Structures are given as C-alpha cells and as structure tokens.
Amino acid sequence: MTNEYRQEMKTCIEKLLKEKPAEEALKTAVEQVFSKALDESIVVGESIESVVYEVMEGIDESLAEEKKKELYLHRASELILDAVHHKILEQLCRDEKNVLRAKAQLHETLEEGTGRLQAAMEAFRHYAEDKHRMKLLEDLHKTEQKTVELIHHLAEKFRYNKYKT
Amino acid sequence: MNEQNAYYEDACQILEHASLFKGVDRDTRCSMVSECQAVTWKKAETLNPDISMTYLYIILEGKMKVTQVDPESGRSVSLFLLSSGDIFDTFTLLDGKEHIVFPIPMSNMKLLRIPIVRAREWIREFPKFNEAFLPYLGEQLRQLESFSQSLVFHDTTTRLANLILHHTGQHPDEQEGHYPVRLINNLSHESLAELIGSVRSVVSTQMQKLKEEEIILSKRGKLVVKDLKKLMQRCDVFCKGKI
C-alpha cells in the first residue's frame, strides 16, 4: 500500500489542527503516526527512508495553509529524529539487558561447573576412605591436581571478565 | 462470499489478471470466488506459523514475505515475496504436510481464503485452473532454483544486482527516465539481505557502491534504477565470470 503514512499523517494533523496550535498538533501527530510507522517498519522490514519521506510529505501537505510551514517542517524533522533516537535507545536497552542476563548466566554456569568438579573430587576421597582403597587414596593428590587444572581451564576459557563490553 | 459482498466484484476483477487464473472463464472464476471467505491482514500483524494448514490464501491486495528463521542464531531468510494474484501456501496445498514458515504482511492486505481440501478439489474439478496452476508452480520452483543457484555461484554484489533487476520494470518513468522497482523498492537493507541470504552490513556497503556508480538512486524515499544497462551488465559480467 503506497503512501499510507502520508495520508495517515495528513488526516491526523488536519484533525488535530482543529483543536490545538500547529506546533502541538505536529508533536502529537509525530508521536502517534510516526512512532507507529516506525514500529511497523521494523517488523515488516520497510526502509526508514521511505517511511520518513512519506510522513514528511503528509506533514507538508497538511500544513499548506500555515505561514511558518518551513519552520514546522524543521521542527518535524527534529521530532522524527527524536522518535528514531528513542526507539534505538529502547532497543539498545533491551539488548543490554539480554547481554547482562547472558553474562550472569555464564558466571552461574561457570560456578556451577567448578562446584561439580570439586564435588566429584570429594566423592573419590569418600569412596577411597569408605572402601579402604589405599592406592586410590594415595593417588588422590594427582586427581586433585587434575581437578585444579580443569577448573583453571574453564576459568581461562570462559572467565566472566572476558565478556565485559 | 455472496455476490452482494463488497469484495466480490473486486476479487473477480483482480483475479482476471492473475497468472494463476489465466484462461479460467469469468463464470468459473466468480463461482470459485463465491466459495471463498474474504479476510484482511493488517500490516505487521503477527500470524501463526501454521496458518496455512487449514486454508489456502489468495492475495488480492498488498504484499507479504514468507520467512524462515533459524532459532539458534535468529538469522532469517525470505524465500518468497508474494503479492496480488499469488497464493499462500503452495507447499501445504500440494502435500498437506506441516510447513512452518513465518508469513509477514508488509502492508495491509486483502485476501480470499478457501479450505485447503476444497482448493485441492479445484485443481481436479477445473481443468483450466489446473492448466494455469502448473506454470505458476513452475515459476515458484524456478524462483527457488535461481535462489539456491545464486547462493552457490554468485557473490553478494551479483545477488543483490540480480534481485534489483528481477523487480525492475521494463518501462522508464516518462519524466526522468528512471526505471521503477516493484515490491522491494521500500525495503530496509536488512530485509534485502534476507532476500539474498546475506547480512545487513554487506548489503549496506553494496547499495552504497551501486549508488556511487549511479546505477540506482533513492527517489521519494524509494529505490529506483537510474542506469538499467549498467545494472544488467553488472549481473551478466559477474554471472559469466563466476559460473
């Protein structure tokens, strides 16, 4: 559907102009129509260029009678940029939250994994003691060393700080 | 849908020009339309991935993309861009098996829907519809063949040039001599990337190059072709060089 945003913006501003001064009408219309258009364009993969162009055309046409039209068009461009900026911020905040959540998960998995290796080590000790496996008990220091090496390997490969942005 | 429905006459007329109904006489076409239900989809509306299991949809107005998404990486690829006269979903119509895809309406859409079982009967019941259906199917298969061939044989520049060329109209604008681009003229670089199996950053670079070489330009916020000959050369040169 071509020019849908142009028409929507035009209709919206013309309606608002009956109740509000031009600047206010413009602000409300950008908030209502452009923000919706921006959301939709992200979902359907429409270029921001075509959406902005259409919306500007709608504003231009609806303010045909206004003496300060050029001024309002400039104001509209600022409002549109603010809306785009706001949307990017929202998206970045969401992404940042996901990154933090993933970092915390990584840390948790690392701690949990280290705990499992240590628990396995403890189990060998208990087993050797319970069952009087003296050779196994003697060799435990080697197993202990291996456990430390494996824990160190995990920490090196996936240490929490490595993923700091 | 009965003859009094506001859609009825429009639908009969729109489908007259659809390749799927080529050769189907008006009476048959209108009787097929009367069996359908009219539906609308809003732009960006979320549709169920299994929406095509029970109904076949015939597009009257608007456009949609049919996307596959990799749940692991979140990367997506758009396999079909469908518009007026196209049907969704050819796969389930043919084999009745589950076909999970993500259909995304890219504009407000008007469609007809018919139970898929009845749509299959149409193919047997109306020989002219059957005759038109096979070439339509062939076109879709060719499209998929071309896409997979392009992925293997061509680099991103050629794939992008081919995509634009495929959607470029043959007749230039009378005033400025630019060639209009249909369906993909208002898509974001990310969306274009989905259509050629690439990523946004690569497409952005290539689009910039095509602009610098004055092959394409943005007119009223939409993509048009400035130099069709150069665009064709770009496709030819690269294709011959790579195959």
Closest approach of B102 to chain A, Cα-based (Å): 11
* Beta carbons within 8 Å of B43's beta carbon, 6+ residues apart: A1, A4, A40, A44, B62, B105, B106, B107, B108, B109
Beta carbons within 10 angstroms of residue B173's beta carbon: 12
pLDDT digits (tens, 9 = 90+) for A79-129: 999 999 999 999 999 999 999 999 899 989 999 999 999 999 999 999 999
Distance from the first to the final alpha carbon of chain A? 42
- A15 & A70 share domain: yes
pLDDT digits (tens, 9 = 90+) for B183-205: 999 999 999 999 999 999 999 99
Q: Residue A1 pLDDT more than 50?
A: no
Q: Kindly give the interhelix angle for B156-166 and B200-212, rounded to the nearest 10 degrees.
A: 70
Q: Which residue of B186, B189, B190, B217 is the best one to mutate when testing the A interface, meaning the one whose CB has the most A CBs within 10 A?
A: B186
B191 closest CB neighbour out of A4, A45, A49: A45
- Cα(A38)–Cα(A21) distance, integer angstroms: 25
Strand pairing partners for B39?
B111
Beta carbons within 10 angstroms of residue B2's beta carbon: 6
User: How many residues make up chain B in this entry?
Assistant: 243
Assembly ipTM: 0.76
Superfamily of domain B6-143: Jelly Rolls (2.60.120.10)
By residue range, what is the domain housing residue A87?
Answer: 4-94
- Cα(A158)–Cα(A165) distance, integer angstroms: 14
Q: Which residues of chain B have pLDDT under 70?
A: 3-4, 236-243
- A82 & A102 share domain: no
- A90 & A73 share domain: yes
- A89 & A119 share domain: no
Distance from the first to the final alpha carbon of chain B? 50
**Protein fold of B154-242:** Arc Repressor Mutant, subunit A (1.10.10)
Q: What is the side-by-side order of every strand in the sheet holding B76-82?
A: B76-82, B64-69, B102-105
The secondary structure of residue A32, as a DSSP letter, is: I
**B107 touches A at CB < 8 Å:** yes
